[in-house]
Structure 1
Amino acid sequence: MKAIVLNGFGGLDALQYQDIPKPQAVPGTVLIKIKAFGINHAEMHMRRGEWAEAAPVSGIECVGVVEACPGGEFAVGAKVAAFMGGLGRTINGSYAEYTLASVHNVAAIESELPWAELAAIPITYATAWTCLFRNLDLQAGQTVVIRGATSSFGLAAVNMAVNAGAKVIATSIDDSQFDKLRKLGVMRCELENLQLSEQLSDKGQIDAVLDLVGNSVVLDSLKIVRRGGKVCLAGWLGGLDPIPDFNPLLQMASGVYLTFFGSFVFGSPQFPVSDVPLQAIAADIAAGRYQAKPSRIFRFDDVREAHRVMEANEANGKMVVVHDDA
């Protein structure tokens, strides 16, 4: 089968197109003929050698059709999504014609949406849903700040939070993106910066922060929420450097909650993929309740260009790759 193999770590040339053996299904796995897959920042870090683990074939998610499932958990020919469970990290991932995923990391996603639109859903919406409604326990009427709201993850979170009846304050480093966010229903927009808390008149009254900027601003995020408020750290748009000299005694307000979510736990007993309502999310998208179309669609031969666009911060949303037969 055709695949994109990491030839060492580095620039775009590290992504090499090769023919490799098609994987063979064994009990506990699902062989998927890939129709489309999302492009993610994690894969950029893997290509550069900045991630703890990187499989020869990158790609942490895909949508496609079941080719084989020895255990019978999924019917041959069924439409499915697969994400995490080591894909692209410890086992070959989705930058290929086929992938072999654990049954614990596969979910049915029957829908009439085009493959390109289905590919924009799995990891992005599963992670946004878990952060908002599990870690933050966001309720209708509450106010949430989404930092990094114009990323693909951020836009998914905005869609879901607004649709759930929350009041959303969205941040971006580019005020030209504010109109886009307002059209999604956010209450207001703020220019992202390291001291966002200082420019918020309602600082200390906000229920929750979904922090996708990361370690560089998480201490500032903790200053935004009220007593009993929650901050969920779930992204690193601002870089992977650790929080310097974090001393909770001096830098964390009493009575606030800091939680973390890493999508690598999907498929574990504590975070089963079946817990995420992917089918309902796809139905909401098909019904127009979310504006979730991919920002850019690439062919399989153009994955290097997709990485270039991602690296240049030109994506403006979720980018996907579609195979020629999709």
Structure 2
Amino acid sequence: MKAVRIHEFGGLDVLNWEDAPDPEPRPHQVLIKVDAAGVNYADLMRRGGNYPGPDLPSSLGLEAAGTVLEVGSEVTGLSVGQRVMAMGPGGQAEMVAVNGNFVFPYPETLDPVQAGGMPIVFLTAYHLLKTRGHLDPGHTVLIQAGASGVGTVAIQLAKAWGARVVVTASTQEKLDLCRSLGADETINYTQQDFEEVIKEQTGGNGVELILECVGGPVLEKSLRCVASYGRMITYGNASGTPASLPAGEIFAANRTVIGFSIGRSPVGTLDHQAAMDEIFPLMSEGKVRLIVDQVLPMSEVGTAHQHLADRGTRGKVILTP
């Protein structure tokens, strides 16, 4: 088979679409013939040596969708021929073997190509808002980078669950997309100070929940936008810039700061199956959908990485074999 592989860490030049050994599924795994695979910022970090993964050389990708070719002896509830989406390493390839706990049969109404870009953003958005964020109807949530893959899904889920949604983005085009998905308020952070806007909108009280993935000064300012007894969840550091969070700004207002990474959670910590069971009906009802920015062949993976690095994405970038 062919796969997107790296033999060393570095820039775009280390990416290869090349022949690779066919995966041999273990008893707890499912072998999938890949129709499509999503590209995530974690792939860029992995390419640069800043994200965990198997020993080099190794295939890239953390999610995929396709058809089940083989089911391991320890896996139940799945069968050969099923169309599934899955989360696990090596998805940017013609075939991938994935832990059966992270494989989800999806409704026939879903597009097979779009399914390849769904698992990480949908599960991340779900767990940020519900499992870790404890979002309730009537709460206000501030979503940084609202036009990102996770952001576009989080907007829709938050609205489906009765929240008021405020988002930030860098262009009017991105803000218009967020509005079309249900965002109540939008802030262009290149033209407005989002901290000042939030304080003005809330009478200085702040918001109940913030989803933050930029890091650096954005993380620091976001903390000051959290209401008393509210929560901020940090789930990335796209800026690559360190942040300083003064203890007095956390405990004095009874604020909670939570870290989240879906890629580093051990099996059993997060109930992904229950999450998908709740998400799929929302998809079927048209309340939430994947926003696709680009679909590219896997041989053009470098273009995808550059597009994400330039922070020009509106939704998800997907690769096909």
Instruction: Please indicate, yes or no, whether the TM-score normalized by the shorter chain is above 0.5.
Output: yes
1:90 alignment counterpart: none
Deviations 1:187-246 (A, max 9, x none): 11112369632332114242111112224322322211221111111122322x3324x4
1:315 alignment counterpart: 313
CA distance in 1 between partners of 2:100 and 2:149 (Å)? 26
CA distance in 1 between partners of 2:91 and 2:133 (Å)? 30
Deviations 1:111-165 (A, max 9, x none): 3321122123100010000000111111111111111111111111111111211
8 Å CA contact 1:111–1:283 kept in 2: the answer is: no
1:223 alignment counterpart: 224
1:23 alignment counterpart: 23
CA distance in 2 between partners of 1:179 and 1:300 (Å)? 30
When residues 291 and 23 of structure 1 are mapped into structure 2, their CA distance, relative to the original with a 3 A threshold, is closer
1:75 alignment counterpart: 79
8 Å CA contact 2:146–2:169 kept in 1: the answer is: yes
CA distance in 2 between partners of 1:267 and 1:119 (Å)? 22
Q: Determine whether 1:262 maps to 2:266.
A: no
8 Å CA contact 1:104–1:267 kept in 2: the answer is: no
- 1:180-259 equivalences under 5 Å are 180-192=177-189, 196-200=194-198, 201=200, 202=202, 203-239=204-240, 241-244=241-244, 246-249=245-248, 253-259=252-258
CA distance in 1 between partners of 2:107 and 2:295 (Å)? 21
- 1:252-291 equivalences under 5 Å are 253-266=252-265, 268-277=267-276, 279-291=277-289
| TM-score normalised according to structure 1 size | 0.88
When residues 222 and 188 of structure 1 are mapped into structure 2, their CA distance, relative to the original with a 3 A threshold, is same
CA distance in 2 between partners of 1:17 and 1:178 (Å)? 35
8 Å CA contact 1:115–1:322 kept in 2: the answer is: no
- 1:1-326 equivalences under 5 Å are 1-53=1-53, 55=55, 56-71=58-73, 72-73=75-76, 74-84=78-88, 87=89, 93-192=90-189, 196-200=194-198, 201=200, 202=202, 203-239=204-240, 241-244=241-244, 246-249=245-248, 253-266=252-265, 268-277=267-276, 279-323=277-321
The residue identity in structure 2 corresponding to 1:66 is: V
The residue identity in structure 2 corresponding to 1:9 is: F
8 Å CA contact 2:233–2:258 kept in 1: the answer is: yes
Q: How much identity, in percent, do the aligned residues show?
A: 25
8 Å CA contact 1:147–1:192 kept in 2: the answer is: no
Indicate the larger mover: 183-192 or 264-273: 264-273
When residues 285 and 275 of structure 1 are mapped into structure 2, their CA distance, relative to the original with a 3 A threshold, is closer
- Segments of 5+ residues of structure 2 without an aligned counterpart are none
Matched position secondary structure for 1:138:
coil
CA distance in 2 between partners of 1:45 and 1:165 (Å)? 34
| TM-score normalised according to structure 2 size | 0.90
8 Å CA contact 2:171–2:188 kept in 1: the answer is: yes
8 Å CA contact 1:10–1:47 kept in 2: the answer is: yes
Indicate the larger mover: 308-317 or 143-152: 308-317
The residue identity in structure 1 corresponding to 2:48 is: R
Matched position secondary structure for 1:216:
helix
| Alpha-carbon offset, residue 61 of structure 1 | 0.7
CA distance in 2 between partners of 1:283 and 1:118 (Å)? 15
CA distance in 1 between partners of 2:275 and 2:298 (Å)? 28
| Alpha-carbon offset, residue 313 of structure 1 | 2.2
8 Å CA contact 2:32–2:67 kept in 1: the answer is: yes
Deviations 1:280-309 (A, max 9, x none): 434433432224231111122222222222
- Segments of 5+ residues of structure 1 without an aligned counterpart are 88-92
8 Å CA contact 1:223–1:253 kept in 2: the answer is: no
When residues 267 and 49 of structure 1 are mapped into structure 2, their CA distance, relative to the original with a 3 A threshold, is closer
The residue identity in structure 1 corresponding to 2:274 is: D
Aligned residues: 313
Matched position secondary structure for 2:59:
coil
8 Å CA contact 1:116–1:322 kept in 2: the answer is: yes
When residues 184 and 306 of structure 1 are mapped into structure 2, their CA distance, relative to the original with a 3 A threshold, is same
